[in-house]
Structure 1
């Protein structure tokens, strides 16, 4: 089985190396590449997930549909598609870059740190019920946009979800989020 690697970044978002994902998340996690995805259905609902209770970082928190780390050399579209399949058994269409410059640093209750450049993508659901992988996702629920905004006030929501909601809320309903300029992605990541 191959070792999953993350892409390490400098402050300008340029790749400066790779590291094994499993051993990179700790109290001094290096700045690295990630992404977040929000899957939206035709009714404007968003698929919200609760992370598996045995996840190494931020177990059991409610968050966006899917998060992940692009593999070295993997484009954002491919990474999002791969992780949605791995975590939820979902196929999607119309991937749209929404927040290309989102980054954050957050510390979990156990002291483990996330420190990521984490572009945010919206995807359109093509049908088929989510099939959560229990190693990744404890629960998955379709929620209205109003319910998503309310979740941002809940301490059981992930810190990145709360920070992303602060930037997404002014953009209006998820189906109306404008496409961002692809040139704003970090240099280490292609579309």
Structure 2
């Protein structure tokens, strides 16, 4: 995993097993929200054996780039592996999102986590090693449910949804951000 400072500069790498703990260092990651042509979003329930937030509903796919891998390539790679999806379009929408969240057992996530909108035109084929279940939901219904506390989702998703809503009511019309706005360690 790519470790970063608060300004987004690379500090080197560390094995994934050594990073997710009670003193999780800030590292580079990504989140993605997969949409169909109707503007419905693909939600996933994390596999029950995941180290962080097992069995929790969240956005479509999250992950970490390999050292030297462009974030959009990492998104494409993980969507293929976790959900069997082929990307038809990928857009950066929140280039500087970052968060820290701690589970009840003390294990923390601490990520500099740019967010992507992804378009697909085929059904998901979840990999049971990563995903426990999937569900498509109209974006407005999902966003309103998260905002009103009616849908329980991962802490990063709960923080991202209000920021995504600021981009506009129609997720298919969100204006992509520039890759120049990505943190230095994530720039192509």
TM-score by length of 2: 0.95
Work out the CA distance in 2 between the residues paired with 1:86 and 1:154.
Answer: 30
Match of 1:146 among 137, 140, 143: 140
Gaps of 5+ in 2: none
C-alpha RMSD of matched pairs (Å)? 1.1
Write out the 4+ residue segments of structure 1 that deviate beyond 3 Å after TM superposition: none
Q: Displacement of 1:126 after TM fit?
A: 2.6
Counterpart position of 1:3 = none
Work out the CA distance in 1 between the residues paired with 2:116 and 2:154.
Answer: 17
SS of residue paired to 2:7: coil
Work out the CA distance in 1 between the residues paired with 2:98 and 2:150.
Answer: 21
Counterpart position of 1:187 = 184
SS of residue paired to 1:143: strand
Counterpart position of 1:168 = 164
Q: Displacement of 1:167 after TM fit?
A: 0.3
Matched, 1:66 2:61: yes
Contact 1:102 1:118 in 2 (8 A): yes
SS of residue paired to 2:144: helix
Q: Displacement of 1:185 after TM fit?
A: 0.4
Q: Displacement of 1:151 after TM fit?
A: 3.8
Q: Displacement of 1:181 after TM fit?
A: 1.8
Worse overlay, 140-149 or 62-71: 140-149
Matched, 1:106 2:104: no
SS of residue paired to 1:188: helix
Q: Displacement of 1:155 after TM fit?
A: 6.4
Equivalent residues in 2 for 1:15-34, closer than 5 Å:
15-34=10-29
